[in-house]
Structure 1
Amino acid sequence: MDLQQMRYVVAVAETGGFTRAAERCHVVQSALSHQVARLEKELGARLFERTSRRVRLTAAGEAFLPPARRALEAAERARSDVAAATGEIRGALTVGSIPAVASVDLPAVLREYRLRHPQVRISLRAGSSEQLVARVRDGHLDAALLGVQPGFLPQGVHDRELARTRHVAVVAPEHPLARCGEVDIRRLTGEVFVDFADGSAARAQSDRAFAALGLRREVAFEVSGVELMAPMVRHGLGIALLPATFAAELHGLRTVPVIDGPVRVERLAWRRFPPSPAASAFLALLGVDTPPAPETDPEPS
């Protein structure tokens, strides 16, 4: 058993097929299939069920996958730690983020990071705050930028508050509310809304603000991100509630302060166990000092 075989198994499991796994690993499919078959023979169990339509993990494959991922991560960590000991940050950095972040200029941070550490491979992942916390906790992300309601504390990760801001009503320029200096939640109950998916943290902030006053509202359109929300508002399909610091950057729209509107807290979450040198360097750019990994006791002589 070797690391390359583990890498192939993880790739097949994550892509759902041998062809896509071979493309990811930059090898021909026959070579990848041969190595997986050799590993299965050594283990004495099939790791995948293969049909003409799909490939899926067997029970043995499900058992093999987590330790294989840990072994690959440990090997990558060993390489990056050695490089760090010689003064060079190498390895991989995987950062997650909600679609709309106002407290951190993530592209600017990553540009500075890239200038300082050009040997690090950087991956970005988008998702809801709940999904990102789970991925950080499970070790799939080094850090994540979240947008949650006050009182939300991510479980199983380190975290810190970055900023909090009130939501504003975002409306088309010709909308009657565009002429208002400010409004309250009750004034908005007759409006049609464009909002995020029901059940998401971004949506819950607005829903709870209305529910706290015993009010109902109509969400006629649910979208996955602000890039869809803005043009829908611009075309008069509805209004939106967004954090003030982010909404101000939406061109061609008007923002109206909401006196008793929802509040969003942006938080940074990162893994609890000692971060890799690449992750520590990223967290340092955001003002987080992480302790070094504990040294292991020397072997008794």
Structure 2
Amino acid sequence: MDLQQMRYVIAVAETASFTRAAERCHVVQSALSHQVARLEKELGARLFERSSRRVRTTTAGEAFLPAARQALEAAERARAEVAAATGEIRGKLTVGSIPTVAAVDLPAVLRDYRLRHPRVRISLRAGSSEQLVERVREGRLDAAFLGVQPGFRPQGVHDRELAQGQHVAVLAPDHPLATRHEVDLSLLAEEAFVDFADGSAARAQSDLAFAAAGLRREVAFEVSGVELMARMVRHGLGIALLPAAFAAELHGLRTVPIINGPVRVEHLVWSRFPLSPAASAFLALLDVDPQPLADL
């Protein structure tokens, strides 16, 4: 068994095709198929069920994949550690972020990081705060930027609060409230809203503010992305509440401050697993101690 065989198996499992797996691995299909067959013979079990229509992972294959991924990650980590010992940062950095991050200029941070460490492969993943915390906790992300309600404390990860900010009302230009200098929650409660999914951290910030004021509101549309939310607001389907620092970047919409409105807290979280040199360098760029005193 060797690392290349593991790469081939993972590629087949992820593409559900020997042809696409060979293209991904830049080898001819016959060579890839031969190596997978050799590995199956060594293991004494079929890793894939093959038919003319599809390729499906067997129970044995599903059991093999997590360990194979860990082995490849360990090998890459070993290469990165050796390079770091000689003064070069290389390997892989995987960062997650909510779409509305405003506490840092993330593109600028990643640009500076790439200039300093050009041998590192950077991946950026978007998601909700809940999803990002889980992925960091599981080791699938090195670090992530969250937006949560006050008092929220991510579990199973290191975290640092970056900033707090107020929400504003986001309105179509012709909305009757668009010309106001500020609005009260009681006035907004009469409007239809476009918001994130019920139960999400992004939604909770607004729900808590209305609940604290003893108000109820109607969320007419639930969406998963800010771009769709902005388009629906432009078409007059409802109004939205978004962090002021982020909403200022939306074109073709009006923003109005809210009296006693929702508050969002942005956090940076990172893995409790031993950090790779690439991840340590990323935290250093953000001036973050990878192991806060509170966690020692």
Judge same fold: TM > 0.5, yes or no.
Answer: yes
Whichever residue aligns with residue 114 of structure 2, its letter is: R
Counterpart in the other structure of 1:60: 60
Change (3 A) 1:227 1:90: same
Whichever residue aligns with residue 252 of structure 2, its letter is: G
Spell out the pairing of 1:81-230 with structure 2 (5 A cutoff). 81-230=81-230
Report deviation, 1:214: 4.1
Counterpart in the other structure of 1:284: 284
- Describe the superposition over 1:73-113 as per-residue Cα deviations: whole angstroms up to 9, x where unpaired: 11001111111111111111111111111001110001101
Counterpart in the other structure of 2:294: none
CA distance in 1, matches of 2:201, 2:148: 6
SS at match of 1:159: strand
CA distance in 2, matches of 1:77, 1:240: 44
Spell out the pairing of 1:28-47 with structure 2 (5 A cutoff). 28-47=28-47
Report deviation, 1:51: 4.3
Where does structure 1 lack aligned partners over 5 or more consecutive residues? 292-301
CA distance in 2, matches of 1:54, 1:205: 45
SS at match of 1:140: coil
Report deviation, 1:54: 4.1
CA distance in 2, matches of 1:22, 1:185: 57
Task: Tell me the TM-score normalized by structure 2.
Answer: 0.92
Task: Tell me the TM-score normalized by structure 1.
Answer: 0.90
Where does structure 2 lack aligned partners over 5 or more consecutive residues? 292-296
Report deviation, 1:52: 4.8
CA distance in 1, matches of 2:199, 2:240: 17
Counterpart in the other structure of 2:16: 16
- Does residue 3 (structure 1) correspond to residue 3 (structure 2)? The answer is yes
CA distance in 1, matches of 2:211, 2:52: 50
Deviates more, 1:196-205 or 1:275-284: 196-205
Counterpart in the other structure of 2:241: 241
Counterpart in the other structure of 1:260: 260
Counterpart in the other structure of 1:294: none
Report deviation, 1:216: 2.7
Deviates more, 1:44-53 or 1:61-70: 44-53
Counterpart in the other structure of 1:74: 74
Deviates more, 1:18-27 or 1:73-82: 18-27
Report deviation, 1:209: 2.5
Report deviation, 1:215: 3.0
Change (3 A) 1:219 1:48: same
SS at match of 1:177: coil
Counterpart in the other structure of 1:297: none
CA distance in 1, matches of 2:187, 2:19: 56
Change (3 A) 1:137 1:17: farther
Deviates more, 1:251-260 or 1:22-31: 22-31
The CA RMSD over aligned residues, in Å, is 1.8
Report deviation, 1:53: 4.8
Change (3 A) 1:24 1:154: farther
SS at match of 2:215: coil
Change (3 A) 1:148 1:23: farther
Change (3 A) 1:23 1:192: farther
Whichever residue aligns with residue 50 of structure 1, its letter is: R
